[in-house]
Chains A and B, each alone.
Chain A
């Protein structure tokens, strides 16, 4: 998930430096870390039979548990709390914990050697791609977990306590491969304080939005910033405009990389609406070349009014945001003729937790996920990370939310079940990369809406049906 990507750029540099050394001779050394010696057969069964109601996966306390956590914006202390709960339930279980930003670097050799950890928070810029792992039969399917009794209330199943759309991101062809733990809302963000000072009303429709942008520009502030070096942020706005215009059916076809979906007039309407920002010159100067840090900092400093992002934004910028900034969330405004309602928004779960198929303590991995979804664990996470988990009503009244989180959870309540979530960024990496390139060109006005559609369609045509 995006939340993770921003935190470990330093780590990218470190790895890049290391890889340079390796690649100097021509890149061939890369294979030195590759394995291929592990056996792919006789893996542990995903759902051991010997389970009881209180211990559905048949966890043995004598089995050690091997946990690897992506140590990004949320840290990894929360996972240590979860591990403490686990050892309380299974006294004597020896837990090995690794917090790292370099998931691929640490885990690729282990997957190749056939000895992966038991549970992994597979997140961050160097996450292992879910589609690649799933296609290669490396993951435990999570249906047994979802059908297991819920720990806090055994009359319910685990799947009944999750927020809508939680499983979408981890589902490929109807099978659930990851449990995404952090609930994220996507849209536009602004400073409520700035808007009240200037007497601006948050726009409900895209026409209002464009009109307001004109007013904002006249006041000497750039109306719109985006994280140009990471073009997928702009896609949060573009693809949401298109989804809301075209309705659920079109959204599903787009997400499934159906090339003909791009011929739909809703696509043209959405991208043309977004292109008005460029056409009317409403972008923050230089934003097309900025990193997330640079653009979001400019936005926090009041140089730009709106910025697209997910709800990790508040926690990410917490040190830079002025105390009275009053961060607020706005779902992507409605276009005329939208098939989805105006409060509909993109929401879904991030921080994918996986249980590798070849894990030695497969049952323990599943049990760890079950523990994560208790109210106790969820509350611990919310307090540590200023973020909501996928557990329904997962935050007790005792947890005080920051303004941005409060605003986005209010928007989420208003949306009700009207949420959607694109999975293509997680499961169609190559297509997503091409779409990002097209969007970068569009934002820099190197191409127009028609060419953007043509490039997106061409990229979708290259996706092989699964």
Chain B
């Protein structure tokens, strides 16, 4: 019967593979094709220019700045988000020390879990509006309002947050982390709940504290989940388009400012693609982003690969 197996499998896979090819693979190939042209984005006609777009990218300072920001995000976003999410998940699931001796989270863990998950429910558009109010540049903003009331800043010289070149990147990073932690908290919580309680109880009986339990038991047993989170977050860090383009100045042309200090590859790509009419050049950026994302995913999966622990 063996020779009948493959037609059977192919029969099932035909439709998904076809859809995947048409809707994912083919556009990727098209993008690569367009990246070799001077396509304007609004006309069916274009000229082949070879690798000119790619060599131009190498000499494009703004592209390099944007790439730098994405790489910085790739380093910071996963680390901070995962550390925070792990810490909170641990506290919510096994961090408590009830009098009964059982393993449980801190008091009110169920409530906190819901609260932490809230940001995940909000669409990115609402996030942008919400944080524009938080970062508002006069006393009407949440941060400035509080700082002024506390007497920590002069109402005549409010901090500009998103319009301050030295702060804008960190403001965006903070929103990304704020909105991400909840999801990974729930993900890690679910994984932690599948760890048998007796392992924790045994550790407890052996006199291990919270810290030791966390590093010697929780982390190794969660490694697969952490690895997945890492790849997701790295991909999110390569993007960051929605927040940067909606929250940072100059508004209306995909943000990225002031002075490209919050520029990411996706915003620079879109500005070239639509307002500047350099769609071919933008496609070249798209191809570069694609390969960077691909390489990062492969590398992070390889580097973090460890022996799987069966339990």
Contact = CB atoms under 8 A, between A and B. Distances in A.
Interface SS of A by simple majority = helix
B257 A16 contact: no
Given A19-B242, A285-B139, A429-B275, 11 more contacts: A12-B252, A23-B239, A26-B238, A29-B28, A108-B41, A136-B45, A228-B137, A289-B161, A436-B250, A444-B160, A446-B259
A30 interface: yes
Contacts of A37: 44
A429 B274 CA distance: 10
Interface string A416-441: 00000000000001100100110011
A451 to B, nearest CB: 12
B123 interface: yes
Interface residues on A, range: 35 or more
A27 B290 contact: yes
20 contacts: A13-B124, A19-B270, A27-B269, A27-B286, A27-B290, A30-B31, A31-B27, A31-B31, A35-B44, A112-B41, A114-B44, A133-B42, A136-B42, A136-B45, A231-B250, A285-B139, A286-B138, A298-B138, A440-B257, A444-B258
Interface of B: 23-24, 27-28, 30-31, 34, 39-46, 123-125, 128-129, 132, 135-141, 144, 155-158, 160-165, 235-236, 238-239, 241-242, 245-246, 249-253, 257-260, 265-266, 269-271, 273-277, 279, 282-283, 285-287, 289-290, 292-294
Contacts of B161: 289
Nearest to A358: B44
Contacts of A135: 40, 277
Interface in A226-242: 228-232
Contacts of A36: 34, 39, 44, 46
A144 to B, nearest CB: 22
Nearest to B242: A20
Contact of A17 (B46, B124, B141, B277): B124
B160 A289 contact: yes
B163 A28 contact: no
A136 B40 contact: yes
B250 A128 contact: no
Contact of B43 (A26, A29, A111, A286): A111
A291 B266 contact: no
B165 A446 contact: yes
A347 B260 CA distance: 31
B163 A440 contact: yes
Interface of A: 5, 9-10, 12-14, 16-17, 19-20, 23-32, 34-40, 104, 108, 111-114, 125-126, 128-129, 131-133, 135-138, 228-232, 284-291, 294, 298, 429-430, 433, 436-437, 440-441, 444, 446
Contact of B250 (A20, A39, A104, A437): A437
Nearest to A22: B241
Contacts of B41: 34, 108, 112, 132
A433 B270 CA distance: 14
B136 to A, nearest CB: 7
Contacts of A38: 44
A437 B259 contact: yes
B168 to A, nearest CB: 10
Residue among B30, B42, B157 with most chain A CB within 10 A = B42
Contact of B137 (A10, A125, A289): A289
A20 B266 CA distance: 9
Contact of B257 (A128, A287, A294, A437): A437
A135 B260 CA distance: 28
> Can you list the 7 inter-chain pairs with the closest CB atoms, starting with the nearest?
A289-B137, A286-B138, A132-B277, A136-B43, A289-B163, A13-B125, A286-B137
Contacts of A13: 124-125, 128-129, 246
B20 to A, nearest CB: 12
